[in-house]
Every structure is written in C-alpha cells, then in structure tokens.
Amino acid sequence: MKLKSSRVKKILREGGICYGTMLRMLRTPQAVALCASQHWDYVILDTEHNDYDLETLSNFCLASKYVDMDLYVRVPDKLYHQMAQMLDVGAEGLILPQVRTDEEARRIINATKYAPLGKRGVSLSETVTLFGDYSQAAYTQWANEELMNIIQIESEEGVNNVGKILSNKGIDAVMIGPADMSQDMGISGQLEHPRLEEAFHEIIEQCNKYDVAPGIHFSKMEYVEKWVKEGMRFVTYSYDSKFIKDAYSESLQKLRSFKPAQTLV
C-alpha cells in the first residue's frame, strides 16, 4: 500500500477550490467516514477551542487513512510538541492559529518539516504507514511533500506581515479567522466591514503572489459565495453541531406546520 497522497494538494495544484468542514463535538471515528461519504475535500478536528483527547484524535487519524479526504488538526498553539505529535499520530496537515510574524512561520516549518526543509524529529508513524515498511528517506520525503501547513491570519499584525510570512517555503494555505480578526480590529462580528474586507483582499493578493492558497472559515453560505468569487480557494464551511442544529430546526418547523385532520365531534 502506498502512503496516502493529499487530495487537497492535488486539487490546489490543478487550480481548483477545496471545500471542508470542521468537527467540534462528534467523538466517533465514524464521523470521518460520514464526511467522506458526502465528498468533502477535508475535515478539521478543532483542538484549539474543544476537548478532543489524544486517543480520540489518533482513532480519527487512523480512519482517515481509508478514505479519499484529508484530515487536519487545528492545534491549540504553535508549540513543537503540539505540532509534531499531531503529525506523528496521523494528521494529514495542521491548522495553525494566530500566526502573526515571520519568526512564527519559520518556527512552524522547523517543527513540521523534516530536514533539509525543517528540523522535525524523525519517527515513522505506524498509523501513517498502516504498519507497512518504508525507508526513512522515502517516509520523510513523502511527509515534506504531502502534509499540509495551513496558517491562520487572525489579526492586524498578521495582515501587516502577511508577505513576509508567506515568503517562507512550506506554507500551503491560509485559513483566515474572520471572527478573531474582527475582534482584534475592534469591529467584533462585523464580517462585512470595509476594514475587514480590505484585509481579506490583501491576504488574497499576497497568497497569489507566493503561490499559497487563500482561504477562510464561514458559517454563512452567502459569505462563502462572495469570497469564492473574490479568489478564496481553501474554504471551510460551518461545523458539526451547527449542521445538526440547523437540520433539527428546519425539520421541526416543518413538522409543526402540518395541519391535523379534522376531528369529527
């Protein structure tokens, strides 16, 4: 069996748009198969704001090896052990929050890429290889080529430094955090504010300059439609609990609208 190739990298190389979603609540690895059955390009496990433990993450990563969908982990912070360990247990890429400076970008690359690109410690993951036998050279080359680094620009400082950040080889995509960015700018939740939209356009421009995929996370379809037209190519839409709540609400409204049969008195 060959080591798994990145579905997202293939699509991006061909100039396409990738669509993914986020898991915050579901704990069963069957959620990976569920998302893959609906043909998402990727799914994100959010450990920045939620409480997935290492065993659960490892089980999700194992399940991802059997489906044509990438699985990424959003780490709580950009610490070596959080980044490298997630890749060792089988994540196919990382979402890296609150990247603000060129120095942070270089630290990310050192932790996630093997030499000569970085300084990640070598360990051939049995989850990644599915217990197959691979040489160290083959494994490290595969990891450097196929594993995704997706950084989050979520502040004015990050926007101001975006060109320097993206000039580092080893960053594949940006996923803008619009909620945090609006908070940082003092326009909390105003996702159509001109200052915020100007920042989005600057990130798109710099991403295109450095051949990095520009992306964003939204939970409103009209925002996605608008920004795909503006050039976003790595688009994360909504998350598990919101999908469930929306489906419950829509169904219950329909159920309560049904008219009962006339009762004979």
Q: Hey, what CATH topology would domain 7-257 get? A: TIM Barrel (3.20.20)
Please check whether residue 107 is in contact with residue 120, taking contact to mean a CB–CB distance below 8 angstroms: no
Report helix, strand or coil for 36: helix
Residue 157 to residue 162: CA distance in whole angstroms: 8
Q: Map out the domains of the chain as residue ranges.
A: 7-257
In the predicted model, is pLDDT for residue 71 greater than 80?
yes
Instruction: Judge whether 240 and 43 are in contact, CB under 8 Å.
Output: no
Task: State how far the Cα of 215 lies from the Cα of 238, in Å rounded to an integer.
Answer: 14
Q: What's the mean pLDDT in 190-200?
A: 98
Instruction: Please write the tens of the pLDDT for every residue from 135-150.
Output: 999 999 999 999 999 9
Token pair listed for 89: 């247990």
Mean pLDDT taken over the chain: 97
Q: Where are the beta strands (DSSP E) in 24-92?
A: 42-46, 70-74
In this prediction, residue 265 has a pLDDT band, given cuts at 50, 70 and 90, of low
Per-residue CA distances from 24 to 8, 63, 85, 218 (Å) = 21, 17, 20, 15
- Percent of the chain exceeding pLDDT 70 equals 98
SS3 label, residue 74:
strand
Q: What is the pLDDT of residues 93-122, one digit of tens each?
A: 999 999 999 999 999 999 999 999 999 999
| Over residues 198-210, mean pLDDT | 98
Instruction: For residue range 208-218, list pLDDT tens digits in order.
Output: 999 999 999 99
What does the pLDDT look like over 221-247, one tens digit per residue? 999 999 999 999 999 999 999 999 999
pLDDT band at 257 (very low <50, low <70, confident <90, very high): very high
Residues 165 and 104: their CA atoms lie apart, in Å, by 8
